[in-house]
A and B are shown apart, each in its own frame.
Chain A
């Protein structure tokens, strides 16, 4: 969209435009009509987190998915004994997309390791978009299915290579 401002910073993209550019790079949105991606980019909210802030909490169903625009986060799992570090997620990671589709408890907590900015999409906004474009969940399910299959193949390869017994229990998830 052309801006009509004749000023130096007139070409600075709006937050919406920046969101749109970010979403167009996400695998989950690939193949979706541009109208849908625009609506997501328009409805999501930018949230900022200081170092140490909790982005989401294990055991909660906050109904949100998170796209990390900048910063770095860590995924942790806490049980009665202690907190386990799982892995880091930096910019351009899109987390918890399944929370948009149905109530789902977060199995992990995500903590900002440095000042972090996320695009947050709520289940409510998502359902409003689905009302307009009912085939979105199907497309997303396909994308999730592909992702599960890819992960399963990796796990099988690892299992074949090392015959890890503890991996055995996890195999077969793509048969869901």
Chain B
């Protein structure tokens, strides 16, 4: 079980821990080692003082060179050793501090992930990020210093005091008399620092929330031209923070100034009193030197103590405020303490369940419901009727405020997260898809259930057949197949090549004539509208790096060829048109990858091309510099007239490109015959997708019916060659992008359904899980639910399409948080009540 790891850590929740509890937690050995090194260091630090006294009193006074050399040698050895030990202390201290910070971050993050959903509704992501990244740094530093700083410096001070006390008690007491004064004054100043630091933390938190809010709502700000409102809001907060930080810093500096002042008073006292005693012959000159030297050496430990004191104060405030912010009761424990995770009998019983908000609004009002194991029930009603809330309460994502709800006779609110995870699978209306591959997302719930280690080690990894099965059930199979067909085969996967070449032959033989209108075949005498200009010129897959797409404009050979073929100038002109047009359309809007599918410019290049367009605005092509020329040529080379509809390739230029194709081939065959693998019907083209390789051409995307037919032909072919599963495997490696942005809304829903099917939970809760799917896909999934899952998994589905409700054993109609009608589809239709009215309206 994945949650097993958490079991050991299930002691005190992090938000209840004190800052000082971190000092030894997990660091006991390191802290003990530190104490040993510190004591040794302090002992060694006293040696130079004694040596100074001996050098003056014995070596210099008695004029003994040998004594001078040995004392200086000991002095030097002590200084070197003290420095090495100091470095060792710093290393151990840094380790402790970083381990503590990392552990605090991990535990707080684990805590945050378990917090109730309503906490996140009122919390800006910026606050969470700031707390995890910034606010825990100083508390972590404190943990690193907690033993080392006070111990080193207090023991050093005591050691020096003791040594000086032996030399001259009166002078020692007087020179140390300044410290009690400081111990009184500094905490007074620190109180002010603390007060301002608390205000600083609050102000920083408000400021980061404000930044997140205005960035998230940038569309609203720009659409309303609300720049002044937002600027004023931000400026006011920044000014407030500035004022707080100035005060905070002034008081921090004041502590340093006061501290320095008192420390500088030390030598004054020693000179006046020690000098008087020396003149009177009551103090040796060597002892006076030792006193002065000790005073100087006291400065560092004292400074470090003050710094530690400040880190402790700042760290405590940051830590307390952070933990207090997240100190929200987690309603359900992660895993059971003294029992195994339940494997529940999956009958669901809800009795008089209500959910009332703090404002007194009843989202659910006395709901009662009985669901037998394996039974399928549909929740229907108008939006806001409470159907999703009911479903989410059963999934423990919302906590009901009164009444009872049980799964297998166990009260849902008493179950741990692990019990819920084991027994329930939830698909929400807008499922979250994580950055990664289709396969990783498909296995997300399965892996969470069985544990990452178990799955990664292969002990409980699902079979490929299982994955394919759920892809088929959810209807994602065809999409994954398309991803596979649109993938490139790595040159390392050569085993595919003969199969694909064979499929090409079969395809041409069986479907060649049928698809003629829909596919642009690789014909060396034709310009390919759906290929880039670079592909049109090279008409092959580059083998030499020089001719790979991104390197073409850097190749002298290629640039000379463009000049000789008279292609440079018209292509520059085309590049300029593409750049100007794209910048004109997409300037002043927040950028999204979706906007760049129709242009050869990529999202991350947009700013550069925006600058370029501005720079060349009033220039003719012969006036632009080399860099600009290269960028424009690059755009033209990436331009594909069939895909990028923002510019037109003139007929003359397409003819010149075909001419150029022959010329390029002639030259490259003379210069480096192996640099390009030219498109040949009997060879695999690594620069093209699998689909293009099978077709030996490119599908024209403009006819949806044609695409559908070609897909059908491909599937037939893949089955014939026993290559379908392999293609699905390749398709499952498709990168879905951040938040699944590379998938459509429907694909995201299908993926979420597939991952729940793969988990195969005893209870499934679908919250409008098929709302973004087309009619056929919804029907297919409903069929799968009715035929395959009925009797196997209990299903609670929030349904918005009433035509599929017939398939459910029971229908509950909700209105204003209450179940106002319940029965079979036929019963409710016969009753001619709310459901009948809604169904009639739908019709």
Contact = CB atoms under 8 A, between A and B. Distances in A.
B124 interface: no
Contact of A131 (B219, B588, B645): B219
Contact of A38 (B577, B585, B775): B585
B168 interface: no
B223 A135 contact: yes
A48 B702 contact: yes
Binding site of A, secondary structure by majority: helix, strand, loop or mixed? Answer: loop
B626 interface: no
B840 interface: no
Question: B648, B701, B776 — which one has the most chain A CB atoms within 10 A of its CB?
Answer: B648
Contacts, number: 115
A7 B577 CA distance: 14
A142 B771 CA distance: 26
Contacts of A8: 650-652
Interface residues of B, number: 42
Contacts of A10: 648, 650
B776 A1 contact: no
A87 interface: no
Given A15-B645, A35-B588, A128 B652 contact: no
Interface string B396-414: 0000000000000000000
Contacts of A134: 219-220, 223
B593 to A, nearest CB: 10
Interface in B577-602: 577, 580-581, 584-585, 588-590, 592, 594-595, 598
A50 B705 contact: yes
Contacts of A49: 703, 705
Nearest to B774: A60
B150 interface: no
B648 to A, nearest CB: 5
B83 to A, nearest CB: 59
A133 B646 contact: no
B65 to A, nearest CB: 85
A35 B589 CA distance: 10
A129 B574 CA distance: 27
B647 A14 contact: yes
A167 interface: no
Interface residues of A, number: 44
Interface string B88-114: 000000000000000000000000000
B585 A128 contact: no
Main secondary structure of the interface of B (DSSP, over half): helix
Interface string B747-789: 0000000000000000000000001111110000000000000
Nearest to B594: A128
B594 A124 contact: yes
Contacts of A62: 774
B621 interface: yes
Contacts of A38: 584-585
A100 to B, nearest CB: 13
B576 interface: yes
Interface string B555-582: 0000000000000001001101100110
B576 A4 contact: yes
Contacts of A105: 775, 801
A123 B774 CA distance: 13
A16 B219 contact: no
Give the residue among A5, A43, A62 with the most B Cβ atoms within 10 A. Answer: A5
B744 interface: yes
B598 A9 contact: no
A131 to B, nearest CB: 6
B744 A124 contact: yes
A132 B771 CA distance: 24
Contact of B704 (A47, A61, A135): A47
Interface in B151-183: none
A125 interface: yes
Given A39-B589, A60-B776, A47 B584 contact: no
A128 B595 contact: yes
A114 interface: no
Contacts of B771: 103
Nearest to A123: B745
B653 interface: yes
B500 to A, nearest CB: 29
Interface string B632-670: 000000000000011110111100000000000000000
Given A12-B650, A62-B774, 7 more contacts: A5-B573, A7-B651, A7-B652, A60-B775, A103-B771, A124-B745, A134-B220
A-B residue pairs, 10 tightest by C-beta? A15-B645, A4-B573, A7-B650, A60-B775, A59-B775, A7-B652, A132-B589, A16-B646, A14-B648, A60-B774
Interface of A: 1, 3-5, 7-10, 12-16, 19, 35, 38-39, 42-43, 45-50, 53-54, 57, 59-63, 103, 105, 123-125, 128, 131-135
29 contacts: A1-B584, A4-B577, A5-B570, A5-B574, A5-B653, A7-B650, A7-B652, A9-B650, A10-B650, A14-B646, A14-B647, A14-B648, A15-B645, A15-B648, A16-B598, A16-B647, A35-B588, A42-B598, A43-B594, A48-B702, A48-B703, A49-B705, A53-B705, A60-B774, A61-B774, A103-B772, A124-B744, A128-B595, A133-B219
